[in-house]
Amino acid sequence: PIKSDQFFLADGNYLDILNPRTPIRLTVASCMGYYLLFASLAALVVHTILFNGKDILKQSHTSLKKRQNDIHCTLISKYPEAPEWAYALLFLCAFICACFVCHYGNLMPWYYQFLCASLAFVCLLPSGIVTAQTNMQFNMNYMLYVFGGVFLHGKNPIWNSTFSTYSWAIQNQALNLLINLKFGHYMKISPRAMFSTQLIITILSATIRYGMAHYLLTTIVGICTYVDPNNPWECPNISTTYAIAFGKIG
């Protein structure tokens, strides 16, 4: 087929993702999509360095107290800031939980979490600049797929999916947190109130989503499969295993 989110063998049959021992064949639409995505990633890095490099270096050596603040910074400074140790403690707890889940769930060696977090924070700056200037979130997960394929080439396919999922989730959640904090900054909402609200809502949302996913997977027969052509629960978003493909390509 010309356009499909699946991977194929040389004879046109579907590839067995859990046993990808033969060369992968992609559709024309997928190849063109990869070309445009990787070109945009290169353009993003070059644009960040050329147009924002000086500002990044300048701001990295300037504190908020020493620079000329606008009216929004002046007004929000009347509220007490959320302590940095609270963010550090939250990150540490989440990181330990992620390592625990990966190790005892056999999803991925736990020490790869250090690499996931490092890649996510590196991608956060260029994607954050684009989001702040254009109000559009740049999709960095394909670059994370590539890194996962390089570091986990030929390993367990579940490791590749877990690596790319954690890397993308850290970067995406951090960016969404910055967006909400920026909104609270302009709306003059206390930083401590924003921190506590974000924490409570995130825990509540994660609990509900996990419960719904567990319920659907255990009660609906044939969910996220293509066995029954009349099955309305095909899950097209999660059935696209780009991380597996890059894990085989390397």
- Note the pLDDT tens digit of each residue in 143-174: 777 787 778 777 777 888 888 889 888 998 99
- Note the pLDDT tens digit of each residue in 16-60: 665 656 667 777 777 787 788 888 888 888 989 999 888 888 877
φ/ψ of residue 121, rounded to 5: -70, -30
Cβ partners under 8 Å of residue 9, min gap 6: 15, 22, 25
Q: What are 110's two structure tokens?
A: 């736990």
Q: Over the chain, what is the mean pLDDT?
A: 82
